[in-house]
Amino acid sequence: MSESEEVKTESLSVTENYAAWISHEPDGEIVYHLELGAVTVHFFEEEWVEVVELVHAAAQQVNKRK
């Protein structure tokens, strides 16, 4: 694999049980990854934006109930 084909990764956030990170793919695509215990979910940028909006909205609803 040439250097231009290497997948570069970058950690976004890590807790004891979870991690969020991105990979810079050789074709220029950025893929977002959520490691949730034994499961890793992969998102393209448009999907990632939607998931972040979903989690943010859910958190706001939970905070309203407190």
Nearest to 24 by CA among 36, 40, 12, 35: 12
Question: Residue 31: which residues within 8 A CB-CB, separation 6 or more?
Answer: 22, 23, 25, 42, 43, 44
Percent of the chain with pLDDT over 70: 94
Q: Where are the domains of the chain?
A: 3-65
Q: What percent of the chain has pLDDT over 90?
A: 89
Q: Is 27 helix (H, G, I), strand (E, B) or coil?
A: coil
* Residue pair 12/20 in contact by the 8 Å Cβ criterion: yes
Residues 13-60 have pLDDT tens digits of 999 999 999 999 999 999 999 999 999 999 999 999 999 999 999 999
For 23-33, how does the pLDDT look when each residue is reduced to its tens digit (9 = 90+)?
999 999 999 99
pLDDT of 1 reads 57
